[in-house]
Each structure stands twice: as structure tokens, then as C-alpha cells.
Amino acid sequence: MLDIYRDLGNRLGQANVLTNLGIMRRLTGDYPAAARDLEEALGIHRDLDDHPGQTMALNNLGLIRRETGDFAAAARDLEEALNISRGTSDRLDLANALTYLGAVRRLTGALAGAARDLEEALNISRGTSDRLDLANALTYLGAVRRLTGALAGAARDL
């Protein structure tokens, strides 16, 4: 499929296929190839000024970097995704960026920032129909509350 889009000169098609390849490779644990695909996709999305595409690529790059322990790069990518998504109407991208960034902050011990991000993600997720986002926000927020000693809140969330 990617070759067809390249032959046609369809850059948006190329970027979308590269993003999906990156996601698939991330899910199968091939992080180096996933990062290459997503970085190439991100470059094309930037050239096209495609904000939703940029956000999706950045969110997934952030996940790769979190999963490989590069928390500083994960936070950088997710903060960029968050900034872009705040300027669009896509609430799902915004909730994802906040949830993933909150998860990274939790892992780095920035618990106040993690709680802030996750509470915002939770509020947004309650207004969408995506129950997986809601579950992710609740799970990560419950973990942050447990770490800060807010056990009743953690039990409620979890």
C-alpha cells in the first residue's frame, strides 16, 4: 500500500500508512522500526500542516519512548501532541495526549503534574464515547492517587 501511495505521489496516504505501520510495529515490540515509521509520518504530516496526523504520530512516538524508558523524549513528544491537540476540535487526541503524558509524569515521580493531566483527561473522556480512554485515565489516576496516599480516591478510580 505504501508503495502505491508513493507511486501516486499521495503524501497524505503515505503518512497515514506510515502511522498505521508504526502503530502496528509498536504493538508487536519492534520499537526501532516503529519510531522510524512514525518519525517519517510526522515529517509528512508537518509538511502538510495536518494537525490530527501530527498528534497521532506524536502520541504514538511518546508511547514508544515511554515503553523504552526514554521518559524525557516521551514527555517532549506528548507535550507537543498536547499543544497541537488543544488547537483542534478532536477531544479524543487531547484526552490521549493528557493520559499518556500523565502516565510518563507518574513514572518520573512528577505526581502533581500527573494528577493534573489525568484529571483533565478524565473530564474530557467522560464527555466522549470512548470507554477505553475513560478506563485508561481512571487506571493511571488511581495509580497516582495510591502513590500520593489518597487511598480512598485511588480505590474509587480503580
The structural domains of the chain, with segments of one domain joined by +, span 2-157
Q: Which CATH number fits domain 2-157: 1.25.40.10, 3.60.20.10, 1.10.260.40, 3.40.50.12170?
A: 1.25.40.10
Provide the pLDDT for residue 66. 97
pLDDT of residue 90: 82
The three-state DSSP-derived secondary structure of the chain is CHHHHHHHCCHHHHHHHHHHHHHHHHHCCCHHHHHHHHHHHHHHHHHCCCHHHHHHHHHHHHHHHHHCCCHHHHHHHHHHHHHHHHCCCCHHHHHHHHHHHHHHHHHCCCHHHHHHHHHHHHHHHHCCCCHHHHHHHHHHHHHHHHHCCCHHHHHHHC
pLDDT of residue 9: 96
The answer to whether 46 and 27 are in contact (CB under 8 A) is no
In this predicted structure, what is the pLDDT of residue 69? Answer: 97
- Cα gap 88→83, rounded to integer Å: 9
Q: In the structure, what pLDDT confidence band is assigned to residue 130 with cuts at 50, 70 and 90?
A: confident
Residue that wins the pLDDT comparison between 130 and 136: 136
- For residue 88, the model assigns a pLDDT of 84
pLDDT in tens, 34-92: 999 999 999 999 999 999 999 999 999 999 999 999 999 999 999 999 999 998 878 88
- Structure confidence at residue 149 (pLDDT): 96
pTM (2 d.p.): 0.93
Contact call for residues 64 and 19 (beta carbons, < 8 A): no
pLDDT of residue 45: 98
146 pLDDT tier (thresholds 50, 70, 90) = very high
